[in-house]
Structure 1
Amino acid sequence: MSASSSPPARSWHGRDLPHPPKVFGIGLSRTGTRSLTAALGVLGFDVVHYPVDRATHRTLVAGSARFPLLESRDGLTDITVVPYYQDLDLAWPGSRFVLTVREEESWLRSCRTHWERPLPDRGDDRDVRLEREVQRFLRAAVYGCHAFHPERFRRVYRRHVADVTRYFADREDDLLVLDVVAGEGYERLAPFLGAPVPDEPFPRLD
């Protein structure tokens, strides 16, 4: 949320917080994280999907959850924050976490296609070398490999969902498990974040 529209720090679900809460999308690749990011934007949250910048890269390499972007943005989504969700929970008390999930076989097929796809030539001035470095770092950190291996991916997916669910046990106000691909959307996301349900379709992005 922008500074003018952010809820007061002391009025988020009745909790006394030192700052407005952040929102983190901690689902794995190809679970609807782009759609989630777009939907959060509609709800007024200024979040960044899979940031590729030098400050974020330095933070990742240092093994830190103190992402500089969080000083001015409302949150982050995708595997950038997957290894750090517990650290972020401690660093930003009162934050909300959205775990996007997907039917396993559909997810594996999507991952295979995505992993075999080269980085697109977008015709802009982005630093392709930096993007590749971030990509390789995160894929190794999250999946333990650079190439697509279905059985490893399956184990990583199951372990991640189980670990997140266990970590947030008895904290239903802090974690939302959302299956965007299966059609879940604003009717669950908006109430979770204390926002009105928009009168428009939920974004469906590849």
Structure 2
Amino acid sequence: MVDIVGAGFGRTGTLSLKAALEQLGFGPCHHGFELMKRRDTVFDWLDAVEGKPVDWDSMYAGYKSTVDWPGARFWRELAAHDPASKVVLSVRDPEKWYESVHKTLYQAILNVPERLPAEVEPLIRLLNLLIWNGVFDGRFGDKDHALRVYEDHIAEVKREIPADRLLVFDVAEGWEPLCAFLGVPVPAEPFPRLNERDAYGAQQQARVAAAAAAASAAA
């Protein structure tokens, strides 16, 4: 089971946080990109979203930490599953967060072709059930609603997780608060600053293009 539960929504510096945790010895760290690499796990996550029993130890076998979606949707369950785990709530300015999601994840899902090959459809279905129709109730395009969901989530995590078990963390703060919370030395190397927009855009554009080509070929 994971030692570190990332409760922050996607686009809150989770890719940088993943790299930082792995550098500190808490890797491998599960991140939303794992769904693209390991399509075999998508059906397990669909079961979780649909409320079916989940074997969290099996789901996270081989991982020491988790950040980003889909784990952020299940922060409460993961924290309860292992009371010794620590929770890191990654945050960023709400307006910047919304802009980032709107320009990457949300645009990508809007541009997915209606007809998808069988190997792609479960992943898109998961993203819709998990994030867009789940967390955001099908209303992410309503900025006020999305920001309210984001801020309510932060408040909820703060309310439910004891202060000594929780770090509210902005990756702009660097190593010091994260290392102090985890009880590990501060590395000499700079804190990783990974551009999630570029990383996500490159991967997602390639996958959407492949899906579109496959759908066109099947027509």
TM over 0.5: yes
Partners of 1:45 and 1:146 in 2: how far apart? 35
Q: Is the 8 A contact 1:26 1:100 kept in 2?
A: yes
Instruction: Give the aligned partner of residue 33 of structure 1.
Output: 14
Do the aligned partners of 1:54 and 1:130 also contact (CA within 8 Å) in 2? no
**Are 2:43 and 1:57 aligned?**
yes
Choose between structure 1 and 2: higher helix proportion: 2
Contact 2:6 2:75 in 1 (8 A): no
Retained in 2: the 8 A contact 1:65–1:84?
A: no
State whether structure 2 residue 41 is matched by structure 1 residue 48. Answer: no
Report whether the alignment pairs 1:108 with 2:115: no
State how many pairs are aligned: 177
In the TM superposition, what are the counterparts of 1:67-78 in structure 2 within 5 Å?
67=56, 68-78=58-68
Instruction: Give the letter aligned to residue 45 of structure 1.
Output: F
Residue 56 of structure 1: CA displacement? Answer: 4.7
Q: Distance in 1 between matches of 2:54 and 2:186?
A: 31
Whole-Å separation in 1 of the counterparts to 2:43 and 2:3: 20
- The match for 1:153 is 146
Task: Structure 2: state its 5+ residue gaps.
Answer: 113-118, 197-219
Moved over 6 A (4+): none
Consecutive unaligned residues of structure 1, counting only runs of 5 or more, are: 1-19, 121-126
Provide the TM-score with structure 1 as the length reference: 0.77
Q: For the Cα contact (< 8 Å) 1:178–1:185, is it kept in 2? A: no
Cα 1:91/1:76, change in 2 over 3 Å: same
Q: Residue type of the partner of 1:186?
A: W
Find the aligned partners of 1:45 and 1:56 in 2 and give their Cα distance: 23
Aligned-partner Cα distance in 1 for 2:177–2:9? 19
Please say if residues 59 and 66 of structure 1, whose CA atoms lie closer than 8 Å, have aligned partners that are also in contact: no
Matched ranges for 1:134-153 at <5 A: 134-139=126-131, 140-145=133-138, 148-153=141-146
Between stretches 95-104 and 51-60, larger displacement belongs to: 51-60
Of 139, 151, 168, the residue aligned with 1:177 is 168
Query: Following TM superposition, by how much is the alpha carbon of 1:31 offset from its aligned partner in structure 2, in angstroms?
Result: 0.7
Shift of 1:85: 1.5
> In structure 2, what is the equivalent of residue 187 of structure 1?
176
CA deviation after TM superposition for structure 1 residue 98, in Å:
0.6
What is the alpha-carbon distance in structure 2 between the residues aligned to residue 56 and residue 89 of structure 1?
21
Cα distance change on mapping 1:146 and 1:76 into 2, 3 Å: farther
Task: Return the letter of the residue paired with 1:164.
Answer: V
Matched, 1:86 2:76: yes
The structure 1 residue matched to 2:156, chosen from 154, 159, 163, is 163
Q: Could you tell me the TM-score, scaled by structure 2's length?
A: 0.72
